[in-house]
Structure 1
C-alpha cells in the first residue's frame, strides 16, 4: 500500500514537472487548434484564423511585444522590475515622429537620438534604485507616470501626424520617410525582432556580462563577495531595458505612421506577461530571451484569437490577467521544484 502511494506521488511529481516545463508550448498548440476551429468559415470550408494575412498580423504584433518584453527581461535578470517600459516606448514613439514631422530629420539620426534620449529613463531608474535605494518596482512606477506626462506635455496632449497644425497655425512640413515605414512591415519588423532575441540570448547566456547579471539577480550578496560590481550590473540592466523598450516604441511609430496617445502603454501588460511566461518555458526558472519570445507568441495569439471571436476589449483583460496568473503559478512552481 505504501509503495503504491509513493509511486502515485512520483507520477504526480513527474506530471507536474512536465506541465511546468512544457506547459507554454502545449498551451500555444491548444490555443492554435481552438482558434482555428472556433473561427471556422463553413461557406469557404476554411478557418479565417488560419489565413496568411492573419498569421502575418499575429507575427507583426508579436514582434513589437517581444522587443519591449526583451527590455523587461534584462531588468528581471537582476531581480528587478522595469514597469516604465510602456512609458518609454510611448516616449520614443513621440520623439521619433516629432523629429520627422517637426524637424525633417533623417532616419538614422532620428532613431539614434530617440534611443539616446530614452536612456534618460534608464538612468533615472538606476539612480532611484541604486543610489536612493528605492525598491525597483516603486522606482520604475514613478518614472512610468513621470514620462507618460512628459510625452503628453511634449506633444501638447495630442497625436503627432504628418501635416498636423502647429501652434502658430501652420501645417508641419516634415514627412515620415517611406523607408522608415517599411521597418514596421514584414519582413523587416520580423527580422529586427529575431536579431533582438538572438542578441539577448547570446548576451545573457554566453557573455560574462549576462552571467554576472544572473548572478546578481540570484544572490546579490554572494555576487558582491565574488567580486562582481553589483550596482554596475543593475545599472546596465536598466539601461538595456530602456534601450529595447525605446526600440519597440520606434517600431510602433514605423508600423502606425503616427504617434498616438498612450500607444506604447498598451504594450505594458502583454510584455510583462510574455516575460514572466518565459520563466517557465522548458523549465528555465529564470528570465530568458527564448522564453520571452514564446511568451509573446502565446500572448499575441491569445489576443488575436479573442478579437476574431468578437470578445469585447474590456473582457479580454480578464482573460489576459488569468493567463499571467497561471504563468506566475507555473514559474514559482518551477522554482519550488528546483
Structure 2
C-alpha cells in the first residue's frame, strides 16, 4: 500500500515534468500537422519563410523584454519604444534627408535614452518595474504621437506647410525588412542574447539578481548596474525592432510598435517552460514566437476572423503563465 502511494506521485510528477519541458515543442509539432492537413499550402516553403518573416520583429522585441525579465524586471514600454524608433528613423529619412548611418545612430541613441529613463525611475524610486514601465509606456507612446502629430510618415508625404517631403528612403534600408535579411537579423539577435545570458558571467549575474536580489547583493554583485544594463538592452532591441518594422513597411504608422507588446510578452513567458528552463531565455522566447506565428498564420489560412485572434493568443499566454507559476510553487 505504501509502495503504491510513493509511486503514483512520482509518475504524475514525471508526466508533468515531461510536458513542462517538451509541451511547447510538442504543441508546435501538432499545430504543424493539423494546419498542414487542414490547408493545402501551409507546409509550402514560401509559407514557412512567411511565418519566419512575420515573427522576426516580435522576436527581436521579445528578446529585449526577456533580458529585463532575467533581472526580475518587466519592461512594458518595449512596444512604445519600438514606436518611437519607427517614427524617428523614418522622419530622419523623409523630413531631414539624413543618411542610413546617421539615422540609425540617432535612433539607437534615443532608444538607449528611453532605457536609461526606465532604469533611473525603477532603480531610484524603487517602484515595481511593471508599474513604472506601464507609466513610461504611455509617456513614450505620447511622445511618438506628438512628434509625428498623429500622422503617418511616408516618402513624398504632404508636410504641415503644404509642401511635399523631399527626403528619400534609401533602398539599402528597405532591404533590411526583406528576406533573408530580416530573418538573419532575428537569428543573430537570438544567438547573441542566448550566448550572453547562458555562457557569460554577466548573464549569470542577471539570473542571480532575478532569482534573489538580496542574495545577489550579499554576493557582491552590482545589482543596480546590471538592472541598468538590462533596461538598456531591452530598449536597444525594442529600437531595433522598430527600425526593422520601418524598413519592412517603409512607413511609420501611428503607434506602430504598440501592437507587438502582447505578442512579445506571450513569447517571453511561453519560453519559460521550453526544455524545462524555468526562467526567461532567448531560445525559449524564439520558440514562443514561433508558436504564436504558426497559430496566427494557420488560423488566417483557415479563414478564422482576425478579430478572434486575440482570444487564441490570450488563451495561450494564460496557459503558459499557469504552467510556469504552477511549476514554481511545486
Assess same fold via TM > 0.5. Answer: yes
Matched ranges for 1:160-239 at <5 A: 160-239=153-232
Q: Where does residue 300 of structure 2 map in the other structure?
A: 307
Quote the offset at 1:6 in angstroms: 2.7
Would you say 1:60 and 2:45 are equivalent positions? Answer: no
Q: Where does residue 332 of structure 1 map in the other structure?
A: 325
Quote the offset at 1:194 in angstroms: 1.0
Structure 1 unaligned segments of length 5 or more: list them: 40-46
**RMSD after superposition:** 1.1
Quote the offset at 1:134 in angstroms: 1.3
Q: Where does residue 258 of structure 1 map in the other structure?
A: 251
Quote the offset at 1:111 in angstroms: 1.2
Aligned equivalents of 1:333 and 1:284: distance in 2?
Answer: 14
Q: Where does residue 125 of structure 1 map in the other structure?
A: 118
Aligned equivalents of 1:31 and 1:306: distance in 2?
Answer: 10
Aligned equivalents of 1:299 and 1:329: distance in 2?
Answer: 17
Quote the offset at 1:310 in angstroms: 1.9
Would you say 1:36 and 2:36 are equivalent positions? Answer: yes
Q: Where does residue 12 of structure 1 map in the other structure?
A: 12
Quote the offset at 1:163 in angstroms: 0.2
Q: Secondary structure at the match of 2:259?
A: helix
Quote the offset at 1:263 in angstroms: 1.6
Q: Where does residue 281 of structure 1 map in the other structure?
A: 274
Please give the TM-score of this superposition, normalised by the length of structure 1: 0.95
Quote the offset at 1:52 in angstroms: 2.4
Q: Where does residue 245 of structure 1 map in the other structure?
A: 238
Please give the TM-score of this superposition, normalised by the length of structure 2: 0.97
Aligned equivalents of 1:336 and 1:14: distance in 2?
Answer: 16
Residue-by-residue CA offset, 1:182-240 (whole Å, 9 max, x unaligned): 11011111111111111101111121211111111111111111111111111110010
Aligned equivalents of 1:309 and 1:5: distance in 2?
Answer: 47
Matched ranges for 1:316-327 at <5 A: 316-327=309-320
Quote the offset at 1:8 in angstroms: 2.5
Residue-by-residue CA offset, 1:13-44 (whole Å, 9 max, x unaligned): 110000000011001001111111222xxxxx
Q: Secondary structure at the match of 1:265?
A: coil
Quote the offset at 1:108 in angstroms: 1.8
Aligned equivalents of 1:317 and 1:267: distance in 2?
Answer: 12
Would you say 1:78 and 2:99 are equivalent positions? Answer: no
